[in-house]
């Protein structure tokens, strides 16, 4: 069952990312410095390999979160949510902030990307404790 809930958690996080970044596409592209074509879309379009890579990385995060939750004895949905939010907010977001600060990127990029990491990890925590 661990494989199934890990896969579902990654799918949920991936879907949440699609919604998150569709809603925040303009501010994210501005903050990330993405070059746009005349229609306002990223120059060169979206590479499907990036989406595949993204899913694989979310699968890695979901797998590690499953391990952490199981090792910690966290098996309630509330515990999964709080743990996931904590991982996103206090592990992943600071790392994003460090990278963005050193790359001299605008703070808005950290807010958008860190916000997504926090929400996605919270959702993963819920899914991982549902099964």
Per-10-residue mean pLDDT of the chain, 131 residues long, equals 92 98 95 90 86 97 97 97 98 98 98 98 97 81
Could you give the CA distance from residue 107 to residue 87 in angstroms, rounded to a whole number?
Answer: 20
The whole-angstrom distance between residue 103's C-alpha and the CA centroid of its chain comes to: 20
Cβ proximity of 51 and 60 under 8 Å: no
DSSP SS3 for 45:
coil
Q: Which residues pair with 42 in a beta bridge?
A: 36
Identify the pLDDT of residue 39. 86
Tell me the helix, strand and coil percentages in the chain, rounded to 5: 80, 0, 20
Q: Residue 2 has what pLDDT?
A: 87
Evaluate whether 129 touches 80 at the Cβ level (below 8 Å).
yes
Global pTM reads: 0.94
- The gap from C-alpha 116 to its chain's centroid, in whole angstroms, comes to 5
Give me the pLDDT at residue 1, please: 66
The confidence score (pLDDT) of residue 70 equals 96
The pLDDT of residue 41: 85
């Amino acid at each position: 069952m661990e494989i199934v809930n890990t896969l579902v958690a990654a799918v949920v996080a991936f879907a949440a990312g699609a919604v998150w970044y569709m809603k925040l596409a303009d501010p994210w592209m501005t903050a990330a410095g993405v070059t746009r074509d005349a229609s306002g879309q990223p120059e060169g379009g979206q590479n499907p390999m990036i989406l595949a890579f993204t899913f694989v990385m979310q699968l890695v995060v979901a797998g590690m979160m499953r391990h952490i939750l199981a090792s910690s004895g966290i098996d309630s949905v509330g515990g999964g949510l709080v743990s996931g939010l904590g991982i996103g907010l206090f592990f992943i977001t600071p790392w994003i902030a460090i990278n963005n600060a050193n790359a001299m990127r605008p703070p808005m990029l950290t807010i958008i990307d860190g916000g997504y990491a926090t929400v996605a990890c919270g959702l993963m925590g819920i899914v991982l404790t549902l099964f």
